[in-house]
Amino acid sequence: MPLDGQASSTAVRIAGLNARYRHHGATAVLEHALRDREVGRVALVSSFGAESVVLLHLLSVISPHTPVLFIDTQMLFAETIAYQKTLAEKLYLTDIRRLSPDPAQVAMEDPDGTLHQFNTDACCALRKTEVLERALSGFDAWITGRKRYQSGTRAEVEFFEADRGARLKINPLAHWTRDDLQDYIINNRLPRHPLVAKGYPSIGCAPCTSAVKPGEDPRAGRWRGTEKTECGIHVVNGRMVRISAKETR
């Protein structure tokens, strides 16, 4: 199918799915997406970050055997690696796939581990975007934890979105607020990422994540001092999102 025809077909498909599940809650969207033949083969992608436990817990209740893709960029906080192991055991998730960048490619493009200091986009591409793209080649859709309240680039997130080609992206928590997340975690007695108590409401790679002061945007600690707001794994309206909307105009 020509690219324009494929894009049109995917857009129609997404519009139909969003219309079908418009009045559903997160649990129903996730449950139906995992069983809807129109969606196809699905994996959940998780950073095991500050809010990841909510979606992982929902998945564990509905379908604990669903593949969970975890990208170990080799620059994560030690606390994130430990947290991933804790949640895997507590939630009985049986198919967590830990993904890492290709050693040969890292040796060629970032031999001394300093690429993030002068080209964050290239570092994210090497250690995250390209790794995920290879892993997703065997799936028709992937589940994310993206939510509207997180940033301007996510303000209009829907339950279903287009990704690359005909692949879909599913955002069951799109309409949840920070209070919804906190209530869910408390009510289900779920363990928090250990860095949350230290002022990290959004957690990525250690070199590019800092603590957030009271009153700051929750994602202010990501790539602090730059216009960058996204790592590049998400595509919005056919464009890869890595930096602020202001800089893409």
How does pLDDT run across 80-112, given as a tens digit for each residue?
Answer: 999 999 999 999 999 999 999 999 999 999 999
pLDDT for residue 243? 42
Taking phi over 0 as left and psi of -120 to 50 as alpha, with beta for the rest, 48 belongs to left
pLDDT for residue 228? 78
DSSP E strand boundaries for 136-201: 141-143, 160-162, 168-170
pLDDT for residue 22? 83
State which residues of the chain have pLDDT below 50. 1-3, 235-249
Instruction: List residues with catalytic annotation.
Output: 231
Domain span at residue 151 reads 3-248
pLDDT for residue 166? 80
CB 133 within 8 A of CB 102: no
Buried b vs exposed e over 85-109: b needs ≥16 C-beta within 10 Å? eebbeebebeebeeeebeeeebeeb
pLDDT for residue 41? 94
pLDDT for residue 244? 40
Torsion from C-alpha of 52, 53, 58, 64, nearest 10 degrees: 100
CATH of the domain at 102: 3.40.50.620
Give 71's DSSP letter.
E
Largest CA distance in the chain: 51
CB 242 within 8 A of CB 230: yes
Domains: count for the chain: 1
Q: Among candidates 160, 209, 211, which has minimal Cα distance to 47?
A: 209
- Provide the whole-model pTM: 0.85
